[in-house]
Amino acid sequence: MQKPPQSASSTSNSPRKKVIRNIFLLFGLLFAAMIGNTLYVTYQGEKSARENHYKTLKAKLNILTALQNNALEKLNIVSGIVREQNQQYCNFLDYDNVAAIHFMLKSLATIHSIDLACVFDEYGDLLTSYPKGQNKINVYPSILNDQRQRVSVEAIPGEMVKTHLPELAAFVQSPEALCFKSVIPLLHDTGDIYGYVILIKLINGNETLARQMARIAEAEVVYYDQYDKVALTSFPNRSIPYPDQDKSSGRWTRLFYFPEENRRFHRAVHRHPCGRHQ
């Protein structure tokens, strides 16, 4: 007896099915490999883009830091002029010639674009300032708490800005304003400190600095003060909320950076110690 043809057809179908299955399997593997490769390439690409972007951010932050240091250096040069005039200041102080000192401050501030220049006596009492204050305030001792000679980024009471620079008061949203500050002790012939000259260039509302930073770093810049309020920005709209995540210690002033090419939120943190350490 012969076997039925059914069994023959099943043996002839089996290799075909096997081949088809294998082909599907291979295609499946191929697709899986392609998808895997795409994912890997995308991941690598994003990683590389992130690294590249981070490097760009860092480079731009370095540019901003350099520009900030440049502003400090400018103030240091003006402080050098004051140090050269030390004898004149002392002579006028000998005679309590406040009018002459005021005139000197006025010339200095006008020529070198200093926002506020003050002269204090050896006890830390304000003798005169340019521009003069509109009201009497008692916050002056706080800016002379540290009497060391220095040029640095510090915070001054907002009340001082309101009194001496009312046109810039709108830029101060916190109890304190950020500024470039120089403290120059006046030395008498006897070697004693005879007084102090303090030069202040505000960061709050310093649009020239913001424009310069934005132009050179090709980025929009926002300075936040230690109260997380905008001190200076190159954005036309100044109400930029402080990004909450990853807050660092309250004793630091932060400098955020928004790249211009895409306005997606990016940031990097630049730290510098602020005058008021808490």
Partner 1 sequence: MVINPTWQKIRVKKIPPKDLEKLIRNENFSILDVRILNKNGNGSFIKGSVSCPLVFLADRYHEIPKAQPIVITDWAMKQSPVAAKFLISKGYSVAGVLKGGTERWESDKLPVEARNPSEMTGSHSSQNGYTVH
Interface residues toward partner 1, by CB under 8 A: 94-96, 122, 188-192
Q: Is residue 128 classed as helix, strand or coil in its secondary structure?
A: strand
Element (H, E) at 23: helix 5-84
Of the pair 83, 188, the CB lying nearest partner 1 is at: 188
Of the pair 100, 168, the CB lying nearest partner 1 is at: 100
d(CA 115, CA 78): 13
**Any idea which residue has 């070198």 for tokens?**
112
Of the pair 189, 218, the CB lying nearest partner 1 is at: 189
Of the pair 71, 101, the CB lying nearest partner 1 is at: 101
Of the pair 19, 99, the CB lying nearest partner 1 is at: 99
User: Cβ 127 to partner 1, closest distance in Å?
Assistant: 13
User: Cβ 86 to partner 1, closest distance in Å?
Assistant: 14
Q: Residue 112 — φ and ψ, nearest 5°?
A: -105, 15
Name 181's bridge partners. Answer: 152, 200
Of the pair 94, 207, the CB lying nearest partner 1 is at: 94
User: Cβ 129 to partner 1, closest distance in Å?
Assistant: 21
* Contact of 129 with 164, CB cutoff 8 Å: yes
User: Cβ 125 to partner 1, closest distance in Å?
Assistant: 12
d(CA 63, CA 215): 11
Of the pair 179, 184, the CB lying nearest partner 1 is at: 184
User: Cβ 104 to partner 1, closest distance in Å?
Assistant: 18
The CA-based angle 137-141-147, given to 5 degrees, is 150
* Contact of 156 with 143, CB cutoff 8 Å: yes
Dihedral sign from CA coordinates of 124, 128, 131, 132:
positive
Q: Per-residue b/e over 62-94, b at no fewer than 16 CB within 10 Å? A: ebbeebbeebbebbbebbeebeebbeebeebbe
